[in-house]
Amino acid sequence: MAQVTLRKVVKNYDETPAVRGIDLDIADKEFVVLVGPSGCGKSTTLRMIAGLEEITAGDILIGDQVVNDVPPKDRDIAMVFQNYALYPHMTVYENMSFGLRLKKMPKADIDVRVQSAARILDITELLQRKPKQLSGGQRQRVAMGRAIVRDPKVFLFDEPLSNLDAKLRVQMRTEIKKVHQKVRTTTVYVTHDQVEAMTLADRVVVMNGGNIEQVGAPNDLYHAPATKFVASFIGSPAMNMIPCRLEQAAGALRVRLTDEITFPVPASRTARYQPHLSKSRLLFGLRPEHITEVPRHLEPEQHPFEVTLDVTEPMGQETLVYFTVNGTEICASVNPTAGAQSDARMALAADLSNMHLIDDETGMVL
């Protein structure tokens, strides 16, 4: 059993708070990704789990044990660092076996573990090389190998892919997922890249300003963000957010973006949004892929409107078009064959079944 539990964990650097009392339960064998912009406290949280940072207040439990004052080596964790932190003067084999040798494990046992980890990661031929002779991706594998041989209760990854080029990053992402499926060790993974978070995680923890914004499965975060921050952070290109007013119209609700553009709120949401009718600072949120060219047959909640496009960006499988509504730049994703042209009028359809209404004062999604 190796669940990780954080209870009201606080970290202050001198007087500056880095983590402001977070609670988190990570189940055994789970792959959890902490994601957020730089300075959000995600790395600090990871380093507190590792025991590299003191905890100002609160408790961290690994398994059932409170590890607040347990030194890193006795926490039975392994960590993969952003710059890999391979010992430059040791061969790959020595790097991977260093921790075991310090524990005075018998040589034969060490060899079994290193060889099996090397097989998992496909680095058997590299064992006698020095880190300097390895490519970035190979170093990444060795760093993972060093973690695997320890057979720890918890894997900790601190932005392990940020130093790789884009293509390798995608490849290693898959690799990490495969390794996790093989070894099934509880994993806490820190990244600032939301795509990495979405693709790797069983559950994603979105952090901002030392607080947890939302915890959930990748798809839940995407489709049902709890806060404005999560809504804008998850997804690329980002969700459009347009200042709007909520209006009563003959027993139904209506979202008014400008004098010309209004959309009827789906009936299923009327009850939910009714209490917020009077609020002044509301944002209408809709992801680019839910604003498309007008299809031959409109879906029940699709509503057409017409705009003048500013810029078009052909991406191949889709074309991103940008236009301005109410002073806000909006991005929409249209079919490349839809004939979108800069500075031309175009009819688009908004899929209101995927709309979000955000209270800009509290930052909450309603």
Q: Is 119 in the site for another protein (CB under 8 A)?
A: no
- The span from the CA of 192 to the CA of 197, in Å, is 8
279 binds another protein, rule: CB under 8 A? no
Q: Identify any residues that bridge with 291 across adjacent strands, giving them in sequence order.
A: 350
Neighbouring CB atoms inside 10 A of 235's CB total 19
Binding to another protein by residue 68, rule CB under 8 A?
Answer: yes
- Whichever of 71 and 327 has its CB closer to another protein, that residue is 71
State which of positions 6-35 bind another protein (CB under 8 A).
Answer: 7-8
Nearby residues of 240 by Cβ (< 8 Å), 6 or more positions away: 285, 286, 287, 288, 291, 328, 330, 331, 332
Minimum separation from the CB atom of position 201 to another protein (A)? 23
Closer Cβ to another protein, 52 or 170, answer by number: 52
| CA nearest to 213, candidates 222, 224, 225 | 225
Binding to another protein, residues 148-177 (CB under 8 A): 150
Kindly state whether residue 137 participates in binding another protein, applying the rule CB under 8 A. Answer: no
- Alpha carbon 364 to chain centroid, angstroms: 19
Q: Identify the burial level of 37 via C-beta atoms within 10 angstroms of its C-beta, where 0-12 means exposed, 13-18 middle and 19 or more buried.
A: middle
Nearer to another protein, 58 or 363 (CB): 58
Query: According to the binding rule CB under 8 A, does residue 99 interact with another protein?
Result: yes
- Site for another protein contains 83 (CB under 8 A): yes
**Interface with another protein includes 82 (CB under 8 A)?**
yes
Least distance between another protein and beta carbon 242 (Å):
41
* 15 versus 69: smaller Cβ distance to another protein: 69
Asked if 276 touches another protein (CB under 8 A), the answer is no
CB of 125 to another protein, least distance (A): 23
16-24 contacts, C-beta under 8 A, 24 or more apart: 17/210, 18/44, 18/210, 19/44, 19/45, 19/48, 19/210, 20/209, 20/210, 20/211, 21/57, 21/58, 21/211, 22/207, 22/210, 22/211, 22/212, 23/212, 24/205, 24/212, 24/215
- Rank residues 56 and 116 by Cβ distance to another protein and give the closer one: 56
Contact residues: another protein, CB under 8 A:
7-8, 50-52, 54-55, 57-59, 66, 68-69, 71-73, 77-79, 81-83, 85, 87-89, 98-99, 102-103, 146, 150
